[in-house]
Amino acid sequence: MRFLIESYGCQLNMAESTAIETMLIGRGMEKTDDPDKADAVIINTCSVRKTAENRIWGRLGFYHSEKKKHPLTLIVTGCMAERMKEELKKEAPFVDAVIGTNEKAEIPDFLSSEKLDEFETYHFLPSYYREGEFSSYVPIMNGCNNFCSYCIVPYVRGREISRPVEDILSEISYLEGKGVKEITLLGQNVNSYSSVYNGEPVDFPRLLEIIMPYLRNISFVRFDSPHPKDFSDRLIAVIRDNDRIAKHIHLPVQSGSTRILQLMNRKTTREKTLALIRNMKEMIPSLTLSTDVMVGFPTETEEEYEETLSLMEEMGCTEAFMYYFNPREGTRAASMDGQLEESVKIRRLEHLIDMQIKRQAEIKSAMLPFTALAIVTGTSRDDENRYLARGEHNDYFSFSSEIEHNVGDSVIIDATELKGNTFRGCERV
- Contact set with ligand SF4 (CB under 6 A): 144, 146-148, 151, 153-154, 188-189, 227
Residue 297, judged by CB atoms within 10 A of its CB (0-12, 13-18, 19+), counts as: buried
In this complex, which beta carbon is closest to ligand SF4, that of residue 157 or of residue 345?
157
Task: Give SS3 for 421.
Answer: coil
In this complex, which beta carbon is closest to ligand SF4, that of residue 154 or of residue 425?
154
In this complex, which beta carbon is closest to ligand SF4, that of residue 19 or of residue 148?
148
Q: How far is the CB of 146 from ligand SF4 (least distance, A)?
A: 4
Q: What is the DSSP string of 218-256?
A: --EEEEE---GGG--HHHHHHHHH-TTB-SEEE---B-S
Q: How far is the CB of 291 from ligand SF4 (least distance, A)?
A: 13
In this complex, which beta carbon is closest to ligand SF4, that of residue 73 or of residue 189?
189
Q: How far is the CB of 236 from ligand SF4 (least distance, A)?
A: 19
C-alpha distances in Å from residue 19, one per residue of 37, 73, 108, 203, 205: 22, 19, 11, 25, 26
In this complex, which beta carbon is closest to ligand SF4, that of residue 188 or of residue 291?
188
Query: Residue 197 is inside which H or E element, if any?
Result: strand 194-197
Evaluate whether 353 touches 322 at the Cβ level (below 8 Å).
Answer: yes
Evaluate whether 166 touches 59 at the Cβ level (below 8 Å).
Answer: no
Q: How far is the CB of 289 from ligand SF4 (least distance, A)?
A: 17
In this complex, which beta carbon is closest to ligand SF4, that of residue 261 or of residue 415?
261
Q: How far is the CB of 268 from ligand SF4 (least distance, A)?
A: 11
Q: How far is the CB of 139 from ligand SF4 (least distance, A)?
A: 14
In this complex, which beta carbon is closest to ligand SF4, that of residue 227 or of residue 345?
227
Q: How many residues does the chain have?
A: 429
Provide CB contacts within 8 A for 30, sequence distance 6+: 1, 2, 3
Q: How far is the CB of 261 from ligand SF4 (least distance, A)?
A: 11
C-alpha distances in Å from residue 285, one per residue of 145, 279, 318: 32, 10, 15
